[in-house]
Amino acid sequence: MRLPAAISTLPVLFATLAAPLAVAQAAQPANPTSVAPPTVNRSPSTDSAAVSPATDHRPPLTGPAPRAFDFTQLTAADTFTAERGYGFDLGTAPSATSQSVAQGSLPAKSAVAGTEAGATPSTSSQTVAQASLPAIPTSATSPTAGTAPSAANTPFYFSVAVPEGNYRVTVTFGDTTAPSANTVKAESRQLLLESLATRPGELATRTFTVNVRNATLPPPPQNAPGGTAVLLNPREVGLLRWDDKLTLEFNGAAPRIRSVEIAPAPDAPTVFLAGDSTVTDQPHEPAAGWGQMLPRFLRPDVAVANHAESGETLKSFLSELRLAKILAQMKAGDFLFIQFGHNDEKKQWPQTYVEARTTYKAYLRAFIAEARLRGATPVLVTSMQRRTFDEHGRIKNTHGDYPAAVREVAAEEKVALVDLDRASTAFYEALGPERAPLAFSAGGKDATHHNNYGGFQLAKVVAQALRDAGPELAALVSPDFNGFDPAHPDAPETFALPASPARSDAALRGN
């Protein structure tokens, strides 16, 4: 039986009753510095984007006032606590150069609430110097002599307690006497800034948009089906992507941060991702999904809300209220990228199995209809292939009719398509059987899940597909994206992205 085009109640029809999660909304503490709140400039392309008319049933968007943090005024003792509401997190703090520090001691290593499972906390033996912060420039310039930002040669985390929503994050990098080399990630390793270097005496400012969420849902009306929280699996509990704080990871050969400013961005266009382990923000090295690399290739005023999770299927995404959570946050002008197949095709999973030509296509149409009902734009993504070569060095199709079914639905529903099935085949075959494992997790032992290099290349495929899909989706892509041909990928031997501290060798859900 074919499902109707618009099924606004489908998430609750498949929902199981969820015990409410006790997710406390952190209070917004006083601003710890005297830096003036930033002015948020919205992109003209965002303000003028054409969207489908739809009624927005969400409550009015409100948020905290903009906040600014002068890192020259912070010390390593300023660790994140619920009471303080901001600070260095996960047992880390910047280590400082001799030019910009005062000698002192740091707290002993400790397990900080909310630490990503498997992370190895680290501390420094010095404190950050205190100095006044001059006016922050909007482009690279020379700072006032005598001021010095914190300087670190090891990764560190900085968190701020905020309500869920989108936030514009403005970071100023640089040092008066030393060069810097910076990479920035957010939440569970979402890549915001691939690489930024500054010379001694130079400041540079970059802006990003970060989505923060928790697991709570608006309670359903009395006697109505549904639940009050997403049904997280055990591995998700305590992860940075499901909490009430915005967490930034400063990484690179020499990350030197002068200030961080955070302002609510309720009007930012949001790209919601629904999918499985190949899409998700993998919390631990060495695995990576393409979804956590995608922000690097989108405009800085676009938020990526990656709700994908390992082991998920179209059916489980409904029954665990994950789609319900997305729909509760979605507004007109947003986007929903949908990639399922790796687990949906498993007949040995009878509760979530869907047949390619019938129920699989029907569920895809339901997701499409839910997005359109709210004025959002759906995008279908075929599943990338597993790394399974035949004797001729060609990739075997391990997905059967599922990729073709996605293409058919995209054509029938007039939905944009990102064809990772064909692109991944070209990508793996370009590397060949000997080098293709360099794109995969667990040192290549995992033939399904990718490492940072593999996720990065597939995110490039997505960015190229968006650019080719027409003006609406092309407008999402960062201007510095130079295009990508999966048949001519970047050499894995030359790829370099600083690894995050959190690491785990545990097997991932799904295959």
Per-residue pLDDT tens over the stretch 427-482: 999 999 999 999 999 999 999 999 999 999 999 999 999 999 999 999 999 999 99
Same domain, 174 and 212: yes
Question: Are 245 and 390 contained in the same domain?
Answer: no
Q: Is residue 25 very low, low, confident or very high in pLDDT (cuts 50, 70, 90)?
A: very low
Q: For residue 258, what are the domain limits? A: 63-265
> Which has more pLDDT, 294 or 16?
294
Asked whether the beta carbons of 446 and 398 are under 8 A apart, the reply is no
For the segment 84-88, the average pLDDT, to the nearest whole number, is 97
Q: What's the confidence (pLDDT) of residue 38?
A: 33
Query: What mean pLDDT, rounded, does the chain reach?
Result: 82
Quick check: helix, strand or coil at residue 403? helix
Residues paired with residue 68 on neighbouring β-strands, in sequence order? 261
In a domain, 301, yes or no: yes
Domain annotation covers residue 39: no
Residue 128 in this model has a pLDDT that exceeds 80: no
Same-domain check for residues 242 and 285: no
**Residue 33 belongs to some domain of the structure:** no
Distance of alpha carbon 376 from alpha carbon 384, whole angstroms: 25
pLDDT value for 189: 98
Residue 60 scores a pLDDT above 70: no
Instruction: Choose among 432, 490, 465, 503: nearest CA to 285.
Output: 503
Residues 348, 447 share a domain: yes
Per-residue confidence (pLDDT) for residue 96, from 0 to 100: 59
For residues 108-132, one letter each, b for 16 or more C-beta atoms within 10 angstroms of the residue's C-beta and e for the rest, the string is: eeeebebbbeebebebbebbbbebe
Number of domains in the chain: 2
> Could you tell me the pLDDT band of residue 509, with boundaries at 50, 70 and 90?
confident
Can you tell me the mean pLDDT for 372-383?
A: 98
Q: Quick: pLDDT tens for 98-112.
A: 223 332 222 332 223
Report which secondary-structure segment, H or E, holds 422.
helix 420-435
Please indicate, yes or no, if residue 486 is contained in any of the structural domains. yes
pLDDT at 1 > cutoff 70: no
The arithmetic mean of pLDDT across residues 67-84, rounded, is 95
Q: Please tell me whether the overall predicted TM-score, pTM, comes out greater than 0.85 for this model.
A: no
The answer to whether residues 389 and 459 belong to one domain is: yes
Mean pLDDT, rounded, for 137-147: 33
Mean pLDDT across the stretch 162-177? 97
Helix residue ranges per DSSP H, 436-480: 452-468, 471-474
Domain boundary among 197, 232, 265: 265
Q: Which of 366, 426, 300, 336 is nearest to 43 (CA)?
A: 300
394 falls within a domain? yes
